[in-house]
């Protein structure tokens, strides 16, 4: 699995000052400023988050969704250290074909660890100099500030929608970094206007494939057990570390 393919599989798992290349209408600019300030406030007090997620990948070449995953995602910040744990509980080629297929992804201290109970293997990716970039990806909508958003993206306000029963502001993000645009040409982000966190994200590749991620039952500022941020391996688990 290539490095950026892994990020795309994590799905949302972005990055590197203007707000948009096009002139925004005064009303839209005011709406955008309000959303960014709400994200700033949420980021300032962010410590933990937990949510249920469902993601689906659409491939343009076959014109269909070919990968659906459901599970739980956790975030924890202590000082400058950020941890993320994703428990994939079900997977399938469509929403109607889901079956138990557990996978576990753990990010922290500059590494990504992917544990697959079958074949009982942990794959460790050392992010090295890419660590800060990856952190920018995974805090997108969960702990990331509006200030950081406009440093990394050209951001446009696209209106208001009800998503997952939540009043959400829809933002369009275009990465300023050419390297990032090679993986994601644009991102849509739906931000809960009351809590300043993401309820839905959509990542588009240059080939017009996309990954859509929906979050529900979002819980903020609740204690998460240390055990959550551990991979429950066995005595026979093999560990590999791909290079490059």
- For residue range 5-35, list pLDDT tens digits in order: 444 444 333 222 222 333 345 557 799 999 9
- Tell me which residue of 115, 111, 73 sits closest to 234, measured CA to CA: 115
The answer to whether 126 touches 8, Cβ cutoff 8 Å, is no
Q: For residue 91, give every residue at least 6 positions away whose Cβ sits within 8 Å of its Cβ, in sequence order, or none.
A: 67, 68, 69, 70, 98, 99, 101, 103
The CA distance from 234 to 237, in Å, is 5
The residues that bridge with 132 in the sheet, in sequence order, are none
Average pLDDT over residues 111-136: 86
Domains of the chain with bracketed CATH: 3-240 (2.50.20.10)
Residue 244 banded pLDDT, cuts 50, 70, 90: low
CA angle 73, 46, 174 (to 5 degrees): 75
Taking every pair of Cα atoms in the chain, the longest distance, rounded to a whole number of angstroms, is 61
Report pLDDT digits (tens) over 183-220: 889 999 999 999 999 999 999 989 989 999 999 999 99
């Amino acid at each position: 699995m290539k490095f950026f393919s892994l990020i795309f599989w994590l799905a949302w798992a972005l990055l590197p000052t203007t707000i948009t290349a096009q002139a925004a209408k005064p009303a839209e600019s005011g709406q955008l400023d309000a959303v960014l300030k709400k994200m700033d406030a949420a980021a300032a007090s962010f410590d933990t988050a937990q949510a249920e997620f469902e993601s689906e990948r659409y491939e343009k070449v076959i014109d269909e969704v070919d990968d659906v995953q459901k599970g739980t995602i956790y975030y924890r910040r202590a000082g400058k250290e950020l941890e993320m744990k994703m428990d994939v509980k079900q997977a399938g080629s469509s929403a109607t074909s889901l079956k138990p297929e557990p996978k576990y992804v753990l990010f922290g201290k500059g590494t990504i660890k992917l544990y697959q109970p079958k074949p009982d293997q942990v794959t460790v990716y050392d992010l090295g100099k890419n660590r800060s970039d990856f952190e920018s990806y995974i805090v997108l909508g969960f702990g990331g500030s509006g200030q950081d958003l406009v440093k990394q993206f050209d951001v446009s306000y696209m209106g208001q929608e009800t998503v997952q029963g939540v009043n959400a502001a829809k933002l369009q993000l275009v990465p300023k970094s050419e390297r990032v645009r090679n993986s994601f040409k644009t991102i849509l982000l739906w931000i809960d206007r009351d809590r300043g966190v993401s309820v839905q994200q959509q990542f588009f590749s240059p080939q017009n494939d996309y990954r859509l991620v929906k979050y529900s039952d979002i819980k903020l500022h609740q204690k998460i057990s240390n055990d959550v941020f551990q991979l429950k391996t066995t005595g026979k688990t093999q560990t590999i570390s791909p290079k490059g």
